Structure 1
Amino acid sequence: MGKNIFDPYRIDRLLAKSWPEPDNLPGAIEIFERELAAFTGREYCRLTAGGGAALKIALKALKPACVALTDVTHPSLLEAVKYAEAEPVFLDINIKTLNISEEALMRAAGSFDTLLNVHMFGNPSLPDPVKRFPKKHLPSVVEDASQILGRDHKGKKYGSFGRIGIFSLSPYKPLSAPWAKAGAITWDDPALTKKIRGGLERFTRPDGRTASYLSLKLRNLPAVFSDLKKINGLYRRGLSGIGELTIPPVSETAQEFPILTKRREELKRRLLKLKIPLERIYTPLHGKGRDAEFPGASRYLREALHLPVYPAMTESECAYIINAIKDFFTN
């Protein structure tokens, strides 16, 4: 299948051929910030040294006491809550969507003043979440739209529903530079500007070369999304009908393809033996001894595998993975 099989940076190698790779373009950071603000429907945008830094700056600016967040997500979100000196409130997931369970959210209403709404696997999580709460329990919302960049709900872009939107632009994301950790924070309220700029001073920022490449990648997002849709579609069609396999209805532009099976460990060993690079799964944040409180997250941990998805992945690579999984369940 060739020495470059499962190369997640293939799209970047292709794009780099049309990019002069400047050392540090003057004004490139400000140009990209304006472009991303316009793309996401926001007034203001600042480039940060990763999604984790953006989260820390966002929460520190809001000064929350208690932050609710999904139990299944990247640990950097919990790190940001602790950085803001807030108490976390973990919310179980709906195993069908792998996003926050609305029942868990409503049960916890009133126990937190800020909601960190993360759109996992490109699936919308609680679109326009503020409308779900009575006024006495109305939280501030920070929206992590890293995995749903570019999509909208009723004409309004995801990432613009909360007081602050954050984006990870690190490697493996559709909008990313392969050599740098980057992120972005977006907002509309000018009253937040001073606090956010003050938070930015505590972190280094990507350079103009990175910003210039992100601008190039932003212009090429339609092609990136087209590739992601193709691979997700191939997986969904190729793996349908396998009785021991559950395929959650993730977005057609998801950057990893989760599957659930009670034979997870056996299948994992088989795929790794065949040199298929599985993506990491998320360890639920609730910790030990509380699995009964989080049935959705606990099942995810027992059964989930994430198949690789990235732009410029070939149909033959995808078919290789599909056939390996089919062979496992039929032989």
Structure 2
Amino acid sequence: MSGVNDPIPFLDLSGEYHAVEAEWFAAIHETGQSGRYILGPNEQAFEEELAAHVGTKFSLGVANGTDALLLSLRALDIGPGDEVITTPYTFYATAEVISLVGATPVFADILEDCFTLDPASVKTKITDKTRAIMPVHIFGHPARMDELNAIAREHDLAVIEDAAQAYGADVGGKRVGSLGNAGGFSFYPTKVLGCYGDGGMITTDDEAMLERLKKLRNHGASAPFMHDTVGYNSRLDEIQAALLRIKLRKLDDDVAKRRAVAARYTELFAGSVVKAPTLPANGGHAFNLYTIRMPERDRVRGVMNDNGIPSSQCYPLGLHLQEVYEHLGYKVGDLPVCDQASTEALSLPVYPAMKMEHVERIADTIIKALG
């Protein structure tokens, strides 16, 4: 029977590719004939369509998700002497961009049930140097934005959402990326909305910020060959924008399929010692990754490897304990929930076209390994 012994990929984009191939190739052909390869009509249309889908007034295409966060910080004039509170349980780029603008990342702990930034911990990290909070909607689970925004309002702080892993997630019916001063999205191929290369987007309701971002993404140019600030070469190319327009039209269906895969996993893990991902109390999970917690994680992962079951260990060491941030002085135990999560969490395959037979085989292998 199909799915019993065939290889299980961690992510299989081939089915998705074949579904969009003809339409995308037609868009490539049209782009080639037009001669507009950068900041062309597809890129401009995609900005409008994505803003409408997310629920913001504006969006701006950039080269990647890292730049989306970096330029957002720059547009808010955050730099040397400033502090930005964020999570240590995330991909390095989240903290890296804070360092790149000359500010200092300040790490707060995470919530045990969903891996997102703990508002109570954030409160303890605020100083007179704090300028912003950068929550991460990790694995597709939206952060506690109501509480974080309340803290930000109380202390006059900006909020930049790292929504790289969470396109399609929402809080109270409002999509992530529309819940702060700015939202940063990544279109890396493994993301919920991914292109076939690199790409990113910034969303905002702030028109003044949008104008600043337009300069920053294009070498600080205020007009052709005229520059009034130091900027970047960070633009979403026309061919990737054409693909993303095609994929955006089926995004809601793809997220629904991811949620169906996640629901089956959770059903199978019920009654075991595996802690399945929680669902937001007032919102929707996008399930960029399905991340469980379990005892003896490393031993169980070895059994999975022996049985051809792929997985990903996100994240093996909190950013606060990594060599690059030794100078900040964090030690084991300072952020105990993050430290514990790093020893227990394991991400399992989840994508729209995933076979339910594979889900069942993965869950069965894990449960048997746990005894």
TM-score normalized by the length of structure 2? 0.83
Structure 1 contact 10–311 (Cα < 8 Å) conserved = no
Residue in 2 that maps onto 1:123: 141
> Quick one: distance in 1 between partners of 2:178 and 2:285?
21
Structure 1 runs not aligned, ≥5 long: none
1:58 to 68, 72, 93: 72
For 1:74-113, what aligned pairs fall within 5 Å after superposition? 74-110=91-127, 112-113=130-131
Structure 2 contact 132–152 (Cα < 8 Å) conserved = no
> Quick one: distance in 1 between partners of 2:202 and 2:368?
45
Give the CA RMSD over aligned residues: 2.0
1:239 to 247, 262, 269: 269
Matched residue SS, 2:291? strand
Structure 1 contact 169–176 (Cα < 8 Å) conserved = yes
The alpha-carbon deviation at position 83 of structure 1 amounts to: 1.2
Structure 2 runs not aligned, ≥5 long: 219-231, 323-329
Residue in 1 that maps onto 2:338: 297
Letter in 2 for 1:131: A
Letter in 2 for 1:255: N
For 1:102-251, what aligned pairs fall within 5 Å after superposition? 102-110=119-127, 112-128=130-146, 129-133=148-152, 135=154, 137-177=155-195, 179-201=196-218, 202-243=232-273, 245-250=274-279
> Quick one: distance in 1 between partners of 2:240 and 2:356?
30
Residue in 2 that maps onto 1:311: 352
Letter in 1 for 2:259: K
1:263 to 275, 290, 296: 296
> Quick one: distance in 2 between partners of 1:106 and 1:272?
41
Letter in 2 for 1:170: Y
1:15 to 16, 19, 34: 19
For 1:252-291, what aligned pairs fall within 5 Å after superposition? 252-282=285-315, 283-287=317-321, 290-291=331-332
The alpha-carbon deviation at position 287 of structure 1 amounts to: 1.1
Give percent identity, aligned residues only.
27
Matched residue SS, 1:241? coil
Report how many aligned residue pairs link the two structures: 327
CA 1:45 to 1:194, structure 2 compared with 1: closer, same or farther past 3 Å? same
The alpha-carbon deviation at position 106 of structure 1 amounts to: 1.5
Residue in 2 that maps onto 1:320: 361
> Quick one: distance in 2 between partners of 1:51 and 1:133?
23
> Quick one: distance in 2 between partners of 1:20 and 1:187?
28
> Quick one: distance in 1 between partners of 2:298 and 2:88?
22
The alpha-carbon deviation at position 142 of structure 1 amounts to: 0.6
Over residues 14-47 of structure 1, what are the superposed CA-to-partner deviations in whole Å (9 max), with x where a residue is unaligned? 3224414133635111111110011111222111
> Quick one: distance in 1 between partners of 2:239 and 2:19?
14
> Quick one: distance in 1 between partners of 2:353 and 2:54?
25
CA 1:10 to 1:67, structure 2 compared with 1: closer, same or farther past 3 Å? same
Structure 1 contact 117–143 (Cα < 8 Å) conserved = yes
TM-score normalized by the length of structure 1? 0.92
Structure 1 contact 10–312 (Cα < 8 Å) conserved = no
Letter in 2 for 1:249: T
The alpha-carbon deviation at position 98 of structure 1 amounts to: 0.7
Of structures 1 and 2, the larger Rg is shown by 2
